Structure formats: C-alpha cells, structure tokens
Chains A and B, each alone.
Chain A
Amino acid sequence: MSSPEPRWTLRGPNTGDRAYRVVLTGLALVLPLLILVLFAQLVVSALPAIAKFGPSFLWTSTWDPVAEVYGAAPMIFGTLASSFLALLIAIPLAVGVAIFLTEFAPRWLRQPVAFLVELLAAIPSVVYGLWGIFVLIPFLRAHVVPPLKAVLGWTPFFQGAFYGNSLLAGGIILAIMVVPYIAAVSREVLLAVPSSQREAALAMGATRWEAVRSAVLPYGRAGIIGAIILGLGRSLGETMAVTMVIGNRHDIGLSALQPAYTMAAAIANEFTEATTDMYLSALFEVGLILFIITVAVNALARLLIWRVARGAAVGSRAL
C-alpha cells in the first residue's frame, strides 16, 4: 500500500515573493540611478565649457554668444540675490503663520488655514508669473517703490529707475511661492514639540508668547532652519515665474529695482537659441552649477529636519 499523497509540502521556492522583491528593488533603484546619470550627463555636456573657461566661469560677467565668451557670475549672483530677498520676506511670514497655527489660532481655524496655505504650493508657477506681470508689478510701481525710494533711496539697494521687471519683483514672487513650503514644514516641526515643553514654560508663569519664544521655538530650532533651507532650495531652482518678472539682464547690480537674471531663467530662455556647441555647453555648465547648489542645499535641509524629528514623522507629509 503506497503512502498517501501529502496534503501540503514544506519545500519549494516562494517564487511569487521572490519575483516581487526583485521587481520592486529594481524599480526603487531606478530613481537614485537617474540622479547619477543626470549628473554624469551634465558633467559630460559641460566639459567643453569647463575646459575652455576653467573656474573663471564662476566669476566673470561676459556672456557673449557671438564672441563665444561665457561667464556665469551675473546669473549666479541673480539666483542667490533673488533667493536671499525671497527668504528675507518669506521667513517672518511663514514662521509667523506656523506659530499662529500651532499656538494661537482657535482650533476650528487651524486645519482650514493650514490647508489654504499649503494650497499656494499647488498653483502653477506660470500663473504666478502672469500675476506678477499684470498685478504685482503695477502695484509695486504705484504703491511700494515710491515710498521705498523716498525712505531708503540713499542706500545702494534702491537706486536707479524702476521699470517693473526687477530683482525686487522676482524676490517677492519667489517669497510667495516658498511661503507654503516653509510654513508647512515649520508647522509640523512645531507640532512635534512635546506639549510638556509648553506646559513647563506656561507653568512657570510664561505668557503664551514667552512660552513660544523660550521653549517651543528653541526646541524646534534645527527643524525650522531646515524648513527655511528647504524653501531656499525651492527658490534657487524656480524658473518660470522668475523669468517672467526678473528682467533677464546679464548684469550684477546691488539695486533691487534693477533687472537681473537667474541661472534657471537663463537656461529656459536661451537653450533654443544656443546654436553653437560652446553656447550649449556653457548652458549645461550653468545647469551643473545649479544642480550642485540645489542638491547640496536640499540635503542639508533634510538633514536638519531629520535631526530634529529623529523618528517622528515631522515634515514627511509636507516634503
């Protein structure tokens, strides 16, 4: 009499799971690989320009496609200056919104306002640009620039005529665009501050504002700095809206009223007319510089946020 067929077997490969894992691992690796390939491609394409102009590409200002002489200093300056201006405006606004929403707003108001602020991030940047041209710039010309020039006209930052398209307009547009990022991440950072810290401050007789200043903000300090740097990363790379209002002039000037240029704007504007190999290569080098700066800035931001959140899911939703 033969032994009965076993009802199940313990041996044999788990083919389904194994295949599943291989496929998913492959898909997950594609993305980091893409960054590396992108970086390598940028380097290769920029090589002719790097070889010809060397490091002086970073600090010379001539951008002459006819003579084939390229220096990216005005764009690098414009990118940094417009982002700096944007942060100057956005930081108090965004951190203020975050503090209001976590510490002071009545509970029923918190979610709706947070939602609306984050919705700002969903508006396409070309729409911001359009709004900048037809609403913001006329408004600046009529109501903001005259008093600014009257009070601060003697400083180097507000000299010269205001034609509309300017560093100031670019900085303000960028500020509005990065506020939702900084506000959303700051809000999550502040929400992650243990309530025991607030209570400890309030129990020793601190007012709500003193509790925020002495206990809540210091506790979330690194995370808020991370949020700001994340906003900086956003504004460094922002292209469309800035191109539409910043004036696109290869020039370094301290005055915020004058036109400027950014790296992202230059690439977007000029790649169609880059008819020679060297022109194209110079634009690729600009792209490489922008790539390196934004990746470094973002890495730093995430490191700071991660350090403050350590384990908690701070910022993960907003990022």
Chain B
Amino acid sequence: MGPGANARLRLETVRLTALFNGQPAVRDVSLLFPAHTVTAIIGPSGCGKSTFLRCLNRMHELSAGGTVQGQVLLDEVDIYARDVNPVELRRRIGMVFQRPTPFPTMSIYDNVAAGLRVNGRRSRSDLDTAVERALGQAALWDEVRDRLHTSALELSGGQQQRLCIARAIAPQPEILLLDEPTASLDPAGTQRIEELCHALKRHYTIVIVTHNLQQAARVSDYTAFFYLGRMIEVGRTGELFTKPQVEQTEAYITGRFG
C-alpha cells in the first residue's frame, strides 16, 4: 500500500476535510500520490470523490461555501498556506472535467494555446510547438492537424475531451486531475482516454475520479475507495480489486451497493 519504495513523492493530503457551509463532504482523508503513477478514486455518487479532487488544485474554495481543513502538500509545501497563490498552483496542476469544456468561440488551436497564454507565453513559434506537442500527447494531432483553425465545437465529444486534456497539459503541469473524464463519452471515446492515461503517466502524475470500476482497474496503479465522505481503503489496484481488506470495499466492488 502507498508508494513504491523509490518513487518520488509529489502530492499528499494530510487529514484533509472539505466542507460546504460548514458541513463536511470529505472527512479526514490522508492519501499519497506517488510521481508518475495513476491513482483512481472510486466510490458511489455523492461519496465526496469529486470534491476531494477539487481540493487538490484549490478549485473547491471557488464553490459557494467551500472551505478546507487539513493539509495538501505539493513537494512538502502546503498549498493552502497563506503565501501560496492559487492561480500559480493551478498552473502546475492541470484539470479536466466531467463534460468537455472547450471554449466555443475559439479555434482548436486557440483552445490549446489558451492555457499557454495565461501562463504568459505569447511568441508564435513557441505556441506552435507547444500546441502541436500537447495535441500529440493527447492523441488528437493526427485528427485535427489540417483544421487547427476551425471551431472547437466541430469536434466530436470524445475529441473535445481530448482537446481539453491537450489544453490542460500544454503548459506542462506536473499533475493532472481527471474528474470522471469519460462520463459523457461513448465506448470508443472512453477507450482513447484510457489509453491516454497509460501514455501520459510517463510525464505526469495522474489522479482520476471515476465511478466506472472497470475503468479504475484498467488505468490505475493505485485505487482509493471513498464512501460517505471517508476514504475506506487504498491500495495497489490489483490487490484492492482482488483482495479488499474492508467489508464495505468488497461489497462495493462486487456490486452489492452503489
């Protein structure tokens, strides 16, 4: 359980509690995310897994009434410390949402470049290179190379989601947060994203929230099971799915509830 002995630690939560208007939605979660691994967070709807994910890049505090207790350490720095700028933090931690969120008035190119432009990168040749690399890593380049300057809305749902992944990874963040990235995609689109997870973990540390157990089993190295706002169990994915230690985990992965 936990990181392998020689994996470099990147992200860690320490007794993290997330609240909405004082009501805890996530309680007391301590979890490690080793570098260059994929960690899946599973659990039934409303178990707090998305809220937990949004605490990792300080998006939770943007929700009405959202506050946090405990710590989130990025390379041993508490990201909730007073002197941490959440804007800078989010530039180091990319995020992709449940539904594709391309900017509808922008071209494919400008969508990917948007993430770079807010990071202060303006030069045309620099943008060209970075956009091509990001689209390449998101396995979208071959499909859009001839129409980079057409509207992002002309892409299919699956392509739009890969475009959002390209936008998130274009500034080369260290960590990628995926919030049910395949929830609105068909099986083919889902498969492409899952293949991407494997490829992307060479460059990024990935945390993926999913309510699809097969997906968690296919893409992740570690899996954490959340239930009613608490983390019930965490372990290597293979072990958690074959030999769960906690009764509730077993009940959930064998389909007895959720």
| Interface flags, B91-121, vs A, CB<8A=1, else 0 | 1001101010101111000000011011100
- Bound Cα distance from A200 to B118, whole angstroms: 12
A311 at the interface (CB under 8 A from B): no
- Known: A214-B114, A219-B103, A221-B105. Is A203-B94 also a contact (CB below 8 A)? yes
Interface size on B, residues (CB 8 A): 26
Interface of chain A residues 194 through 215 with chain B (CB within 8 A): 196-197, 199-207, 210, 214-215
Chain A: interface residue count, which band? 10 to 19
B198 at the interface (CB under 8 A from A): no
CB A221 to nearest CB in B, in angstroms, measures 7
- Bound Cα distance from A219 to B111, whole angstroms: 13
CB B190 to nearest CB in A, in angstroms, measures 20
CB A40 to nearest CB in B, in angstroms, measures 42
| Number of interchain pairs (Cβ within 8 Å) | 63
CB B175 to nearest CB in A, in angstroms, measures 12
8 Å CB contact of B115 from A199, A204, A207: A204
Residue on B nearest A205 in the bound complex, by CB? B91
8 Å CB contact of B87 from A197, A206, A219, A221: A206
- Which of B24-32, B122-130, B164-172 lines the interface with chain A? B164-172
B200 at the interface (CB under 8 A from A): no
B59 at the interface (CB under 8 A from A): yes
- Bound Cα distance from A301 to B171, whole angstroms: 39
B57 at the interface (CB under 8 A from A): yes
8 Å CB contact of B103 from A197, A203, A205: A197
- Known: A199-B97, A205-B91. Is A219-B104 also a contact (CB below 8 A)? yes
Residue on B nearest A215 in the bound complex, by CB? B103
The 3 closest A-B pairs by CB, nearest first: A205-B91, A200-B101, A203-B95
A residues with a Cβ closer than 8 A to B are 107, 196-197, 199-207, 210, 214-215, 218-219, 221
Q: Can you give 24 A-B contacts (C-beta < 8 A)?
A: A107-B64, A196-B97, A196-B99, A196-B101, A197-B103, A199-B59, A199-B101, A200-B97, A200-B101, A200-B164, A201-B103, A202-B90, A203-B57, A203-B94, A203-B168, A204-B91, A204-B114, A204-B168, A205-B88, A205-B118, A205-B171, A207-B118, A218-B105, A219-B105
B residues with a Cβ closer than 8 A to A are 57, 59, 62, 64, 87-88, 90-91, 94-95, 97, 99, 101, 103-106, 114-115, 117-119, 164, 167-168, 171
